[in-house]
Amino acid sequence: MPQRILENLNVRAFDRMPSPEEVHARVPLTRKGADTVYRKRTEIKDILDRHDPRLFLVVGPCSIHDPIGGLDYARRLRALADEVSDTLLLVMRVYFEKPRTATGWKGFINDPRMDDSFEIEEGMGRAREFLLEVAELGMPTATEALDPIGPQYLGDLVTWTAIGARTSESQTHREMASGLSTPVGFKNATDGDVEVAINAIRSAASPHSFLGINMAGNTAVVRTGGNPYGHTVLRGGGGRPNYDSVSVAMVERALVKAGLAPNIVVDCSHANSSKDPTLQPLVMADCVTQIREGNRSIVGLMVESNIEAGNQPILADLNQLRYGCSVTDACVDWGTTEEMVRSARSILREVLPRRLA
């Protein structure tokens, strides 16, 4: 029986993808960019280790679809970050990959032209260019690691990584996280199960061996030493939020019982706000109040924010898209973002240093 009728029956083509080395050579890391990534990773690790009393805030668009608008946002966020740096470490949310329950736009890397042409080589190169430009502004970035090959192309430019609610239970993503050079936040499952994230943290902290690619693009057995900076991200689920003080206390206990540091990041969006961006300020205010009243486990917050509020559908004529407005989940606008961040800083400025006492 011919082998050709047994393999790749549903594959239409294998298009060559440049190796990570080739993409790095086209868009090389600069000294200034490297300095930003190194310093900010260290600062987040210090927060997780309780050597730095500040909170880190992952703030930015649900997804990047327009690099020009994204850089406009990055410049605004950099100015705000400098203003509040004594209390808050701002990290720009730069998400290029979008997990889908069924179908939809899969993100800038997968489809940079937003027309189902799937020019992945172009998307990867432009994504690297964008991350480098943001790093050279002095702004750290956070992203979701969805494709296990992606970090070889972009990992040197990322400061913090999320493993999403749909993939925290995935062995592939736990193994990948064990080798990432960034701190990694594991989200609870879409049904609200936090045990999934706790098990993921434990798994990623251990050494693993798995199939992947090396920088030359060759298939390799990747052997990792484990990532000690995993932590949980509460995003709600099953139709209910889980940022309230009771939920947070229960997660603290579960982390300690598992022998893990009680480090919790609260995602103010997704199920915690019922995907209503106008509720994100209320979620953040509640978490800030918990910290003011003595909570020590909340070390970070996440906010979906853009220049303009809300979201919009992807149009056939991309020139008709509203500038600075999300094409995925709805976001709060820039003015609201400034108010949320400045309010948190004002309330917590004298409170957070007590955490180290």
Q: What is the pLDDT of residues 1-18, one digit of tens each?
A: 566 678 898 999 999 999
Q: Number of C-alpha atoms within 13 angstroms, CB side, residue 273? A: 25
- The crossing angle, in degrees rounded to 10, of helices 334-348 and 67-84 is 20
Distance set, CA 332 to CA 36, 177, 253, 273 (Å)? 27, 30, 32, 12
Across the range 317-341, mean pLDDT stands at: 97
Report whether CATH 3.30.420.40 matches the domain 12-86+98-324+343-356: no
The pLDDT tens digits of the residues spanning 263-275 come to 999 999 999 999 9
What pLDDT score was predicted for residue 3? Answer: 63
* Residue 178, burial from CB neighbour count under 10 angstroms (0-12, 13-18, 19+): buried
The pLDDT tens digits of the residues spanning 33-52 come to 999 999 999 999 999 999 99
Hey, what's the torsion of the CAs at 312, 316, 73, 18, to 10 degrees? Answer: 130
The predicted model scores a pTM of 0.96
Residue 216 pLDDT greater than 70, yes or no: yes
